[in-house]
Structure 1
Amino acid sequence: MNNSQLYKGSLSLIILKLLEENKRMYGYEITQKVKEQTNGEVVINEGALYPSLHKLEAEGLLTVSIEHVGNRPRKYYALTEKGEAETVNRLEELTDFVKHMQLLLNPKLSLG
């Protein structure tokens, strides 16, 4: 991911939202989906992704299953029920945050 602290602080939510939409994904697939959806503007590196995935798993928001693809094991991540609820909560918080930031950064918009 680029050096922006905004993106770094949003990585967990990005992961949760992708898993909400796609049901289950493996790490490389997550990185490629983010890159694709942002036209290459946001790149998540493994050094940021896997600690976030492990933290979300430790919080009980993700489950992990391992499947063998060819000769290699592949870890798939999916939301737990708690993860589904937390995704909704975090998205609502982000929506409120963005709305308040828009009011602060563009005060003329709030007068209309």
Structure 2
Amino acid sequence: YRGSLTTIILRLLEQEGKMYGYEITQKVKEMTGGRMKIKEGALYPSLHKLETEGHLKVAVEKVDNRIRKYYSLTPQGEKEVVSMLAELKEYMENMQAIMNHKLSY
């Protein structure tokens, strides 16, 4: 998933509304049958970067005597996810065309 973590995060938050970090890692693991695992060392820097760029907002809540940070999309983040998904779709279509192209020698 190298290079696509930002897209994964934004898409999940678009679908789920708000999530905390560990929840994101578990959802990806569940959705991919364990084939994709996001490490905290990759996730949290991406979340912080998206927050700094104005794509995410953070709400702190106390859950079972623990402080939990929930991430959700800002209006700018909602626009960004639409743009990123369009780019990803185009990329996948181009890769499909390349992979299915019969080479002639």
TM above 0.5, yes or no, is yes
Q: Aligned-pair RMSD on alpha carbons? A: 0.6
The aligned amino acid for 1:68 is K
**Matched residue, 1:101:** 95
Question: In the alignment, is residue 16 of structure 1 matched against residue 35 of structure 2?
Answer: no
**Matched residue, 1:81:** 75
Q: What TM-score does the superposition give when structure 1 sets the normalisation length?
A: 0.89
Question: In the alignment, is residue 26 of structure 1 matched against residue 20 of structure 2?
Answer: yes
More helix by share: 1
**Matched residue, 1:37:** 31
* Alignment coverage as a number of residue pairs: 102
The aligned amino acid for 1:60 is G
Question: In the alignment, is residue 71 of structure 1 matched against residue 65 of structure 2?
Answer: yes
Question: In the alignment, is residue 46 of structure 1 matched against residue 9 of structure 2?
Answer: no
**Matched residue, 1:60:** 54
Q: What TM-score does the superposition give when structure 2 sets the normalisation length?
A: 0.95
Residue 70 of structure 1, CA deviation = 1.6
Which aligned segments of 4 or more residues in structure 1 are displaced greater than 6 angstroms? none
**C-alpha separation in 1, matches of 2:53 and 2:63:** 27
Residue 71 of structure 1, CA deviation = 1.4
Q: Where does structure 1 lack aligned partners over 5 or more consecutive residues? A: 1-6
| Percent identity for Structure 1 against Structure 2 | 61
Residue 25 of structure 1, CA deviation = 0.2
